[in-house]
Amino acid sequence: MLVPPPHSALIISALRSSRLSLQSSFSLAAVRAPSLSSFRWRVDVSISTESLGKAFKPTVLCEVGTDDGRTRTFEMPVEQFHNLRYSVAKVLRNMEEIERHPIMRLAFQADMEAFEKGDGTE
């Protein structure tokens, strides 16, 4: 960044000393989508419709609550619900594999050691 060495040492020590407060303030100020706080679902079976006499078609009625207090309700076919379940399970499995990878553990450990070493020495 072309910062002279005496100034870069001051910047690094200031960042290390206030790292936790900077991270918390950045996470609070970040623009993000609301988080999922609740997810409820049930299977509804429509026995008949106006156009068909007997339908017996199951659908999944989902109710999603977000951390900002809003609740959304939507309906989907059973096949789409199974695709949603499969996709969520696949993403969770991939996240676990990434977290278990030796490089990630080494990177996390190196980050913690650098943080602890730089926290009290400068």
Mean pLDDT of 59-84: 94
What is the predicted pLDDT for the residue at 83? 96
Q: Which domain holds residue 115?
A: 33-121
45 and 25, same structural domain?
no
106: confidence class by pLDDT, cuts 50, 70, 90: confident
Phi, psi of 47 (to 5 degrees): -75, -40
More confidently predicted of 47 and 78: 78
39 and 25 co-located in one domain: no
Q: Which residues contact 93 (CB under 8 A, 6 or more apart)?
A: none
Clarify whether residues 78 and 91 are in a common domain. Answer: yes
Residue 27 shares a structural domain with residue 64: no
Q: Quote the pLDDT of residue 89.
A: 96
Take residue 1 and report the two structure tokens written for it: 């960044």
How is 40-58 classified by DSSP, letter by letter? EEEEEEE---SS-S---EE
Same domain, yes or no: 7 and 56: no
Could you tell me if 7 and 17 lie in one domain? Answer: yes
Q: Starting from the edge strand earliest in sequence, which strands make up the sheet with 57-66, in order?
A: 36-46, 57-66, 71-77
